[in-house]
Amino acid sequence: MLEIGNLNAGYGDMPVLKEISISIGAGQIISVVGSNGAGKTTLLKAISGIIRSKGAIAFNHEVISNLQPHAIVRRGIVHVPEGRKIFPEMSVDENLMMGAFLHQKDYRRNLEKVFALFPKLAERRKQLGGTMSGGEQQMLAIGRGLMGNPKLLLLDEPSLGLSPLFTDVVFGAISEIRNSGVTVLLVEQNVYQSLRISTRGYVMETGRIVLSGTGVELLDNPAVKTAFLGM
């Protein structure tokens, strides 16, 4: 569904991503894990057209490299950014409405799906986004993404800063989202939980993919165990 080949990208003269190749099949959860500054967020920005890149990005066999962000969203790639970035002065309902911008027709159906996935949002429809807890804001950010009818959902560190309880809720929701037919590219520092639910994973280090395999293979890999699992 998404094929990335020899992708290079950076900021100004500074290269960050170096010859990244990643393949994502429909209906999969693929995770990219790595430490701070590895380039995970930069990868998602390149896919969603926020920064320019060299190399190939193809979505359902169409080259989408360097299209404008709105053109990429229209094709069904929705990016839930790092740090949630919900609208703090808007209510839960209004935040979800913003996500539905391109898909007014499916508004009711998608709203029901989001509320089924996160019942807490249904209880808090009138609450301002900015007054919600970190975990609730993450649910809202994912919910807003789902209102945009994604075929491929890009999730940037959804569990960052969350309690163990909320982390479990978020990872459970990601599995449910995949089960509902949405493909997921997950970027995370919670290596254990991510690989556990992933079809395949990629380990990124200073802008390069240094290791890849099925989730199970990577969880069993000695280098992954030492670097990320404290074993």
Q: Which residues in this chain contact ligand ATP in the complex, by CB under 6 A?
A: 11, 14, 16, 34, 36-42, 82, 189
Give the binding range for Mg ion (CB under 5 A) out of 82-90, 101-109, 195-203, 217-225: 82-90
Contact 55, 47 (CB under 8 A): no
Is 41 or 48 the residue whose CB approaches Mg ion more closely? Answer: 41
CA distance 180 to 110: 12
Q: Closer CB to ligand ATP, residue 10 or residue 215?
A: 10
Least CB distance to Mg ion at residue 147 (A): 23
13 versus 89: smaller Cβ distance to ligand ATP: 13
Stretch that binds Mg ion, among 38-46, 56-64, 92-100, 120-128 (CB under 5 A): 38-46
Q: Are strands 14-24 and 29-33 parallel, antiparallel or unpaired?
A: unpaired
Of 20 and 92, which has the nearer Cβ to ligand ATP? 20
Q: What contacts 41, CB < 8 A, 6 or more positions away?
A: 82, 156, 157, 187
| Residue in the shown chain whose Cβ atom is closest to Mg ion | 41
The span of 32-40, 64-72, 126-134, 170-178 binding Mg ion (CB under 5 A) equals: 32-40
- Residue 119 CB, nearest approach to ligand ATP (Å): 30
- What does 15 bind: Mg ion, ligand ATP, none (CB cut-off 5 to 8 Å by kind)? none
- CB atoms under 10 Å from CB of 99, counted, come to 26
Contacting residues for 179 by C-beta, under 8 A, at least 6 apart: none
Q: Least Å distance between CB 14 and ligand ATP?
A: 6
Cβ closest to ligand ATP, residue 39 vs residue 158: 39
Q: Which of 7, 9, 20, 41 binds Mg ion (CB under 5 A)?
A: 41
Half-sphere exposure of 85 (CA within 13 A, CB side): 11
Question: SS3 of 14, please?
Answer: strand
Query: Both tokens of residue 84?
Result: 């949630």
Please give the Cα distance from 133 to 194 (Å, whole number): 22
In this structure, what are the phi and psi dihedrals at residue 28, rounded to the nearest 5 degrees?
-100, 160
Q: How far apart are CA 169 and CA 163, in angstroms?
A: 10
Residues of this chain that interact with Mg ion (CB under 5 A) are: 40-41, 82
